[in-house]
Amino acid sequence: MNNGKISASMMCSNLVDLKKTIEIFEKEKIEYLHIDMMDGDFVPNFGLGVDYIRSLRELTTIPLDLHLMINNPEYKLDWIGIHSDDIVSIHYESTTQVQRVIDRVKKYGCKCFLAINPATPIYVLEEVLDYIDGINLLMVNPGYAGQKMVSSTMNKAKKLHEFLKENKHEDMTIEVDGNISPIKAQELKKYGASIYVAGTTALFKENVESFSDNIRKLRLVI
């Protein structure tokens, strides 16, 4: 049974076609809109900001998948306007107070995921598994759209799946983010992935008229 969810990476969307894009996503029942928030410090780029989020909320009720690629997110959560049906991913590498940030995110009633970069070892998750709702496994180094997958991350996904079983958290939600094609999504499903960030590789290809077909092709394998 295919029950994977799609999180459409809005950093890859064309602002000119934004309204039409959202209409297609609503028709195709896209589960989340993935919002890459960057501060130019944690990653060498600037991403989507709070004004963009406010405007997006006026266009749709699709929940947001907020990926915070920002240093010290504990001081910036109130800026965002987090809703209870959103996902908020904080990076393990972005703060020395991981547990404190998780607790603060939880106060919004949303789901809190912990994101880890390709070179961050899986064992850092061990002490917070009881407090998070999911793991955002980065398959590329964060900061830019259109990157190639770091080759070691497919094996890392397999190791994560085994790690969660060993720690009796095999039902933990795994989100995969970065260069997710339908072929790679099918492989990652074997390792427990259930949320797939769809960007330039799987969804935002060609023009807006192709989006429905691209979504349906991805749904066939997740």
Residues with catalytic function: 36, 177
- Alpha helices, DSSP H only, in 31-97? 50-59, 77-80
**Contact residues for 194 (Cβ-Cβ < 8 A; gap 6+):** 3, 4, 5, 173, 174, 175, 222
**Structure-block tokens of residue 68:** 């915070």
Which residues does residue 91 pair with via DSSP β-bridges, in sequence order?
115
Which residues does residue 184 pair with via DSSP β-bridges, in sequence order?
none
Count each helix (H run) and each strand (E run) in the chain, helices first. 7, 8
Could you tell me which of 184, 175, 205 has the C-alpha nearest to residue 6?
175
Residue that is written with structure tokens 């209409």 in the block: 23
CA angle 69, 75, 79 (to 5 degrees): 80
CA angle 1, 62, 116 (to 5 degrees): 70
